[in-house]
Structure 1
Amino acid sequence: MTVRLNPYLVMNGNAKEAIEFYQKALGATVLGIQTFGEMPSNPNFPMPEEAKGRVAHAMLKVGETELMLSDTFPGQPHQVGNQVTICITADEVEHSKKIFDALQQDGQVGMPFQETFWSPGYGVVTDKFGVTFQISTEGKH
């Protein structure tokens, strides 16, 4: 059983600019970028045009650390100072769910723990101290 914690930066529509900046300032290497427009379509939730070019998820390598970042979806609140979250990645769904359940005690669920197209178990929770965590599971669905 493995667990990793990575910083996750949430930008307000300028993630591509931030990626270029961190490449130059930190010597970051881009491991991957996916826009909202590249995500699988959902007929129940059509993708607004202004969202398609925004970054849904990007991963950079800075030295030995992975830095993740994305843009907010248009219309989602974004507050400077609260744009850093922590992504906890585990290799077993049961372990991810256990972490998620523990962190949500006296906290607030941003996205219920569930299977997604990118993870067999993923959820977002803000703990009772105001720290937001993205709990993710690596592996097959």
Structure 2
Amino acid sequence: MAESIATYIALPGTTAEAMQHWHDVFGGELQILRYGDNPMPGMPFDPDPQAVAHATLVTDAGIIAGADAMPDGHDYAVQGTAYSLLYTTDTPDQARTYLQRLVEGGGREAMPFARAPWGGWYGQVFDRFGVMWAFSCAGE
């Protein structure tokens, strides 16, 4: 197996819904493993059997992995942090399609998709889970 690197996101109990939404937007192969699917004795906490232990969405552009956040007493914010994903597309129309799907799925535009100072295209949207998606394209 070749080396790779993937984004890993821990969401507050919404990982299954988020991964399914991203699968609907970007396509690819989605796998979700819940704690109840494969009980793991000796865990330092008693997980909800429906909570996501590990999920992967493999797309042509890359891999997004994640799980429901650990019950450690911390409530980490997603939106309003430096937490974001950059998706580079081949064409501006492809980026516009993804941006539109994320907005139609309950997200909101953060920065209009337009020509960037460096000559390409760039825009941002926050999806309904608070994850900021930045889209970039070299140009038409």
TM-score (norm 2): 0.47
Structure of higher RCO (CA pairs closer than 8 Å, 6+ residues apart): 1
Structure with greater strand share of residues: 1
Q: Compare CA radii of gyration and give the structure with the larger one.
A: 2
